[in-house]
Amino acid sequence: METVISSLPVLLLGAVITLQITAISVFIGCILGLMAGLSRLSPKRVLRFLATCYVDFFRGTPLLVQIVIVYFGIPQILRDIQNILVKAYGFTPVFENIHPFLAAVIACSLNSGAYIAEIFRAGVQSIEKGQMKAARSLGMTHGQAMRYVILPQAFKRVIPPLGNEFIAMLKDTSLLSVIGFEELFRRGQLIVGATYKAFQIYLTVAFIYLIMVILISRLVDYLERRLKTSD
């Protein structure tokens, strides 16, 4: 029990870092997802193709693999390229390693963006076809109709699935422990390594995740209800 209490400050700070990385990743993921989701519905084939490739790759491969590619794989390639350039032009090497935080943001944002793309696509497609027809019949372009008529309605419908995505990502950030990113789970691991109290510490970690998830799902419910009444 004392171990649990004494490690709480460290774990709670870890929880804050977990929340932080999740919020940043899902936020960037929303921007990526909006672009990719709309591209998948675009009349332009090239856009549709590119967006489909993106979504398929990041939904079709494990987040863990994506994380190690970004953290270990990409920097290695960059260093190789740098070596060639150093040999050829003789400038001093600048790139050494990617910061775990940056790698975490890149991997989680790209992953989240792929899932959110599907959420936005489904949200837009759930709006009645007559809305687009009515908007177009008034002379609006496809883009204007999306922006002023379809998306404002779709945004309300994607709040619950976006909340789910946030919760899923919150839990998945524990995978970032493999690159030594000190979020909640990684901090638990480190404490267990020093104290050998695996049961108590990991159970505490689990409870902290659980509390965060419950609070967030309540918040999403509240948002959903408020948006409904504002109609």
In terms of Cα–Cα distance, which of 202, 184, 197 is closest to 9? 184
- Shortest distance (Å) from residue 146 CB to other proteins: 12
Rounded (5°) CA angle 52-56-61: 160
Piece in contact with other proteins (CB under 8 A), picked from 83-91, 127-135, 182-190, 204-212: 127-135
Q: Report the distance separating Cα 5 and Cα 2, nearest Å.
A: 5
Piece in contact with other proteins (CB under 8 A), picked from 8-16, 50-58, 114-122, 148-156: 148-156
Piece in contact with other proteins (CB under 8 A), picked from 30-38, 70-78, 89-97, 123-131: 123-131
Task: Choose, by CB under 8 A, the member of 3, 13, 69, 136 that binds other proteins.
Answer: 136
Show the tokens assigned to 172.
Answer: 């998945």
* Cβ neighbours for 223, distance < 8 A, ≥ 6 positions apart: 159, 163
Number of residues that bind other proteins (CB under 8 A): 19
Radius of gyration of the chain (CA): 22
Piece in contact with other proteins (CB under 8 A), picked from 45-53, 81-89, 144-152, 201-209: 144-152
Neighbouring C-beta atoms of residue 43, cutoff 10 Å: 7
Q: Does 139 bind other proteins (CB under 8 A)?
A: yes
Secondary element (H or E) of residue 132? helix 129-137
When the beta carbons of 87 and 129 are compared against other proteins, the nearer one is 129
Secondary element (H or E) of residue 93? none
Amino acid occupying residue 177: S
- Shortest distance (Å) from residue 163 CB to other proteins: 20
Q: Report the distance separating Cα 191 and Cα 209, nearest Å.
A: 17
When the beta carbons of 116 and 149 are compared against other proteins, the nearer one is 149
Contact letters for other proteins, residues 33-72 (x by CB under 8 A): ----------------------------------------
Q: Which residues form the interface with other proteins (CB under 8 A)? A: 128, 130-131, 133-141, 144, 148-149, 152-153, 156, 231
